[in-house]
Amino acid sequence: MDTLTALMTDTAPKAETTPVLEIRGLHKSYGELEVIKGVDITAPRGSVVSLIGSSGSGKSTLLRCCNLLEDSQQGEILFKGEPIKWVGTGQNRRPADPKQVLRIRTNLSMVFQQFNLWAHMTILQNVMEAPLTVLKRDRAEVEAAARKYLEKVGIGDKCDAYPAQLSGGQQQRAAIARALCMEPEALLFDEPTSALDPELEQEVVKVIKDLAAEGRTMMIVTHDMNMAADVSDHVVFLHQGLIEEQGPPEEVFGNTRSERLRGFLSSTKR
């Protein structure tokens, strides 16, 4: 019994320290155009990793590769230490196990720039749809969770409204509630505020800051340097498909080493 206890004590911390998401030597190209040229990123449990960089640097493509919405040509993607299984090579490389893809996608909920809400469904129905159809969860349980998450993001009174009746900021908050309702291991945000006016943008930034304060694992592609500085544990600056500079936000923003990053930050100041 003492041996069993010792083994459990020895192994439990290791499970906790396994990163939720790990990318090793990732390459992604569209034909002859190489967009990601060998990138390594780790998202430990409870951490917020922000990806910054100019348009075309590969940020959003990298995020979509993480969620297997795009197929990469080389490198490894690991979810909680489990590597994605691949078949084929180069441009013909594809995930080998559809069940693995579905399981990992449901645990890496994506929040898109353009909300992607179903116009013919109420906000409550939008949030409930994936847990009901993909996870096959109990309807009453899902409805209770959906209402809870809509309250959490500040639009609990909009359950019966349709997307067209909401502002852009409210629609994005509904999209965040929808992602949360899947009870994911991590949230992936692809420019969550870039389609919003500055006033509405702050509504969404507040929600993301609250989620970061809860210790949720997140990877965020963003153009908002203030948000990246405020919520991130680690900031990655991508330039032409490579990591030009990375580190804690106080280092990346306060002790910038790269001339390219200095120029980028200068261009983003409002």
Q: What is the mean pLDDT of residues 8-22?
A: 66
87 within some domain: no
User: How far is Cα 171 from Cα 13, in angstroms, rounded to an integer?
Assistant: 39
pLDDT tens, 41-84?
999 999 999 999 999 999 999 999 999 999 999 999 999 999 99
Single-letter residue type at 120:
H
Tokens of 246: 């990375």
Quote the pTM value: 0.89
User: How far is Cα 124 from Cα 147, in angstroms, rounded to an integer?
Assistant: 7
Domain span at residue 70 reads 20-80+186-270
CATH of the domain at 237: 3.40.50.300
- State which H helix or E strand residue 39 sits in: strand 33-43
* One domain for residues 126 and 159: yes
CA distance from start to end of the chain: 63
* One domain for residues 225 and 266: yes
pLDDT given for residue 194 in this prediction: 87
* One domain for residues 180 and 201: no
* One domain for residues 167 and 219: no
Tokens of 92: 């013909």
* One domain for residues 120 and 48: no
How many structural domains is the chain composed of?
2
Of the three residues 165, 184, 203, the one that is the final residue of a domain is 184
77 touches 22 (CB < 8 A): yes
Helices (H), 39-138: 59-66, 98-107, 123-133
Radius of gyration of the chain from its Cα atoms, rounded to whole angstroms: 19
89 within some domain: no
Token match 């078949």: residue? 87
- Residues 6+ away with beta carbon under 8 Å from 267: 54
pLDDT tens, 123-164?
999 999 999 999 999 999 999 999 999 999 999 999 999 999
- State which H helix or E strand residue 188 sits in: strand 186-190
Token match 């507040």: residue? 206
